[in-house]
Amino acid sequence: MALDTEFSVKSSGITREWSGQIQPALVASFLFLFCLEACLWVRNLRQKRRLPGPFAWPVVGNAMQLGQMPHITFAKLAKKYGNVYQIRLGVQQHRAAANVMCALCFGKRYGHDDQEFRCLLMKLDKFGQTVGAGSLVDVMPWLQSFPNPVRSVYENFKSLNEEFFSFVKNKVSEHRESFDPNVTRDMSDAMINVIEGRKDSTLTKEFVEATVTDLIGAGQDTISTVMQWIILLLVKYPDMQAKLHELVDKVVGQDRLPTVEDRSSLAYLDAFIYETMRFTSFVPVTIPHSTTSDVTIEGLHIPKDTVVFINQWSVNHDPLKWKDPHCFDPSRFLDENGELNRDLTNGVMIFSSGKRRCIGNQIAKVEVFLFTAILLHQCSFESNPSDPVTLDCSYGLTLKPLRCFVNAKPRG
């Protein structure tokens, strides 16, 4: 308000000219858009088998109703409108996790102080902070037409996208130059071989860079986020941490580090990880997809080219499916023999579902198991008295716990 007032006082002549020439055009444009949207809304009302859902305002649709935590809003809407409903949006630990993905995709691990690697991490972190602006511009492209905070953040988002893709493109280009079809060094080589080395491939070479970009971007952010939650919950529930320490010591001992082969004997650790994914639902809503044909779900007609997504948080907190869903209880995933209940673990939705689910879900589960097992084997975690643990989070590409400090101590 103060800035607007100061600008008006200092630039009164310009303001009067702007008011006399530009404002009427803007008002007329807005009225035109409003009338157009109103006509479309009336038409949609008359359509048969219209999907249930909340009233959508002209131009902005339901975008302004979603709030800071859209997954919570979606859950409330589901109670009112059912499992399938429509909304209108507009006119339509970092280093370790990233190093694993770099090793998989590029066959190279970076030193933690490597300048190129640190630059990559910075880009990935900023990408997660700005991705929300990209979502808003997707559904309200007119936000790019005039100066506003969303446009500024969106410009940063686009720039980060371009820089990150350039990094991946250079790495894949290096792989192409040294590619040997008889030696598969990493996933980049494997994709080059399948996509570019086979005459029957229907994919173009650009799919290599695009797929690697997705693997690193999505893999690093989700793994680092779930590890933050795991450490936070270990601190919040010290009795569970003590039980896990005892289990890891019994199964692994002190003479070696945990391996994937130990997983079958560490059912409670797996249960703790699955409960962390269910309880936090750190990927609360799936990435939007689009229907490729007209489909019917629960008797409701969904036209081709409709954008669809699943509220994973709601699935993971459904009281009809989970007993006391808002309580953190890893034992819910164990049967009477203390073994992992696969039927229940398969019910946790964090990597989406169906043919289009996350392609890296199995890699992610192995990564998280090994990270957690090794951390528990080597360290104990305690709350920092000056920084109490909280389960509050920030909303971006994933639900991240708010920044806090915990004490990590080497185990004797």
What CA–CA distance (Å, rounded) separates 43 from 175? 54
What CA–CA distance (Å, rounded) separates 130 from 88? 22
Q: Is 35 annotated as a binding residue?
A: no
DSSP state of 330: G
In sign, the C-alpha dihedral spanning 190, 196, 201, 205 is positive
What is the three-class DSSP state of 320? coil
Strands 379-383 and 406-410: antiparallel
Is residue 35 within 8 Å of residue 59, measured between CB atoms? Answer: no
Which residue type occupies 244? Answer: L
What CA–CA distance (Å, rounded) separates 222 from 310? 17
DSSP string, 194-230: HHHS-TT--S-THHHHHHHHHHHHHHHHHHHHHHHHH
Nearest Cα neighbor of 235 from 91, 405, 99 is: 405
- Length in residues, the chain: 412
DSSP state of 331: G
What CA–CA distance (Å, rounded) separates 334 from 340? 5
| Residues that constitute the known binding site | 358
Q: Which residues participate in the annotated binding site for heme?
A: 358
